[in-house]
Amino acid sequence: MVKVYLKRKIAPRIANGHPWIYGNEIEKTEGDIVAGEIVEVYFADKKLAGRGYINPQSQIAVRLLTRKQEEINEAFFLDRIKKAWQYRQKLGYTENCRLVFGEADYLPALIIDKFNDYFVIQTLSLGIEQWKPAIIKALETIFNPKGIYERNDVPVRELEGLPQQKGFLSAPFDTNIIINENGLKFNVNIENGQKTGYFLDQQDNRRAIQQVVKGASVLGAFTYTGTFEIHAAHYGAKYVLGIDISEQAVEQANKNAALNGLENICRFEAKNAFDALKQWDKEEKKYDVVMLDPPAFTKSRENIGKAITGYKEINLRGMKLIKNGGFLVTSSCTNLVSPDLFLQTIAAAAKDAKKKIRQVTFKAQSSDHPIIWGLENTNYLKFLIVEVSSI
């Protein structure tokens, strides 16, 4: 097995549990490197750092899978996935959950979403791609799934020299499925939906709106499958309007409203949220509750300013549409914007909108996406409810 020796300077970070080793942190290697294969990593003082997979083409040269001198084989993956499942079962995420959340489940670059009997997987690095057969076998052993689908149509794979691809990893099945969440039903399109087809990370937060939507008029923007909005209707909102820029998302959301018998309370329209909110402010429209769940706005640290501008603008526009004493429900789904920075951005938006705000709830993603301190990409979702009043 190839041996990788680290430079002295980086040891504390990796010793503290961070599994990534950047190319410029490697002092020397011994043996012939084959991209994607398992290597053994040592600190500068020759103590074992662990075993992981290497890809010299990637900026993250090695991702550690274990801190021990154990064999990485099919049994290793079966054990890790079993442990990930035990954690979800303990916390009560049995029907639908993120079964494996990459680094947070000690399986770097692997994502597995469980939608009842169906599984959607993403292998986002060359090293984990090699173990796809072992991962599928583990799922078959533990769950006997009705279907497994690969959603590897993501640009990040190209940084690893991997092609973007999607398709069946089991016998073909109907990729339009219906899942239950909080007693409601939702259509999920595993093949063509966004990301893995559905955002499981907001499943706890959707319950958190119950306190503020009863009897309310609600505007939701960036609605995708319409889940927040349909929850609002279910929790007693008077009427709910949802908007999303994607026609396909709007069609799916309207279908979901009907699936739950809530189509008379909750309707969705295709609109650009930035334009629509501006227009409705001019027309002096007002809602009791405005809910915003925009996309990341940036994928890179260099563009973080652009993301902040986007978040500030949309939240400012949202706040202006809220009746005095109403509520803003707002999220951000990128780890590039830290929780502190997000709150500062909302505060800046309130100031410009000439509003006073009080925090009702501030949370992260649901607990089937655990957070590892020091591993910032695991702490990515911010979910905030504030009461909004005139100054």
- The CB-of-201 to ligand SAH minimum distance in angstroms stands at 9
With binding defined as CB under 6 A, does residue 256 bind ligand SAH? no
Task: Round to whole Å and give the CA distance between 170 and 44.
Answer: 44
Residue 379 half-sphere exposure, CB side, CA atoms within 13 Å? 12
Rounded Cα distance between 364 and 226, Å, is 20
Angle at 124 between CA 20 and CA 128, to 5 degrees: 70
Whose Cβ is closer to ligand SAH: residue 66's or residue 194's? Answer: 194
* Residue among 274, 341, 356, 387 that touches ligand SAH (CB under 6 A): 274
337 near ligand SAH, rule: CB under 6 A = no
Among 148, 153, 151, which Cα is nearest to 198's? 151
Q: Which is nearer to ligand SAH, 77 or 222 (CB)?
A: 222
If one asks whether residue 272 binds ligand SAH (CB under 6 A), the answer comes out as: yes
Smaller CB separation from ligand SAH, 123 or 365 = 365
Q: For residue 254, which of 224, 222, 232 has the smallest C-alpha distance?
A: 224
Q: Which of 105/293 has CB closer to ligand SAH?
A: 293
Q: Is 246 in the site for ligand SAH (CB under 6 A)?
A: yes
CB atoms within 10 A of CB 158: 10
Residues 6+ apart with CB under 8 A from 182: 203, 206, 207, 231, 234
152, 225, 298, 379: residue in contact with ligand SAH (rule CB under 6 A): 225
- Give the shortest CB-297-to-ligand SAH separation in angstroms: 9
Taken in order 186, 188, 193, 194, is the CA torsion positive or negative?
Answer: positive
Minimum Å distance from CB 343 to ligand SAH? Answer: 20
* Euclidean distance between CA atoms 15 and 17, whole angstroms: 5
Name which of 176 and 246 has its Cβ closer to ligand SAH. 246
Whole-angstrom Cα distance, residue 316 to residue 388?
11
CB of 315 to ligand SAH, least distance (A): 14
Q: Find the shortest distance in angstroms from Cβ 97 to ligand SAH.
A: 15
| Per-residue mark of binding to ligand SAH, 204-223 (x: CB under 6 A) | -----------------xxx
Site membership for ligand SAH, residue 119 (CB under 6 A): no
How many chain residues are in contact with ligand SAH, going by CB under 6 A?
21
Smallest separation (angstroms) from ligand SAH to the CB of 274: 5
Between 14 and 190, whose beta carbon lies closer to ligand SAH? Answer: 190
Pairwise CA distance, residues 92 & 332, whole Å? 25
Tokens encoding 355? 């509003």
Task: Tell me which of 20, 85, 224, 342 binds ligand SAH, using CB under 6 A.
Answer: 224
Distance of alpha carbon 251 from alpha carbon 238, whole angstroms:
22
**Cα(83)–Cα(89) distance, integer angstroms:** 10
- Is 196 one of the binding residues for ligand SAH (CB under 6 A)? no
Which residue of 103, 129, 181, 244 would you call a contact of ligand SAH, by CB under 6 A? 244
Q: If binding is defined by CB under 6 A, does position 20 make contact with ligand SAH?
A: no
Contact by Cβ (8 Å): 184, 210:
no
Strand partners, 117: none
For the bound state, the minimum distance from the C-beta of residue 229 to ligand SAH, rounded and expressed in Å, comes to 8
Told to check if 268 binds ligand SAH by CB under 6 A, we report no
Binding site for ligand SAH (CB under 6 A): 194, 199, 202, 221-225, 227-228, 243-246, 249, 272-274, 293-295
